[in-house]
Amino acid sequence: MNDCVLFVGLGNPGIAYKNNRHNVGFMIIDALAEAEASSSFKKAASLAETSSFSAENKKIILVKPLTYMNLSGRAVRFLLDFYKVKSDNIFVFHDDIDLEFGRIKIKKGGGNGGHNGLRNIDEQIGREYWRIRVGIGRPQGKSEVASYVLHDFNDDEMITISQISQKIADNFTLLLSDPKKLEQELCAK
């Protein structure tokens, strides 16, 4: 195998957070694990749960940080160093309140948009990694953001998020070869 790739889903560990808007990254990682029959997660230095499989002559490591959202960078830094991963091979799946619900944007580098998980990753490893942004919509008032992201998706929203997660799982190899094409596939109605 030539390269190691980290697919990092941002979220908070624990059953209380399982269906929160902030946990969309964990939901995508779970869909990838299920699709690749690699649902056996193990702890990596108490910083993350990981699972792995091979695809496209690469070792794909699925990552769910256990450090809670605001310290996600600690887990990413540890795994980047442990596996000697290049920044081009780090893909972070996360919620984005600045995108309309269900919309997907994929880009490499850039700012954190006020997302504390991304801010911590940027502090730990820099900004030059891939970000897969999943729109969760924005609450009415700015002061409601923390409450909004820590509330569960409603039933209709969960259906949409499950469909998005499955589409990503079905087409994840495009992330490795042509991330922008995956964005087009995901946004096609």
Q: Which is catalytic among the residues 22, 94, 115, 151?
A: 22
- Residue 117 Cα distances to 58, 154, 182, angstroms: 26, 23, 23
Of the candidates 140, 135, 124, 147, the one whose C-alpha atom is nearest the C-alpha of residue 186 is 135
Based on the residue annotation, tell me whether 115 is a catalytic residue of this protein: no
Q: How far is CA 188 from CA 22, 41, 72, 94, 168, in A?
A: 24, 32, 31, 20, 13
Q: Which residues are catalytic?
A: 22
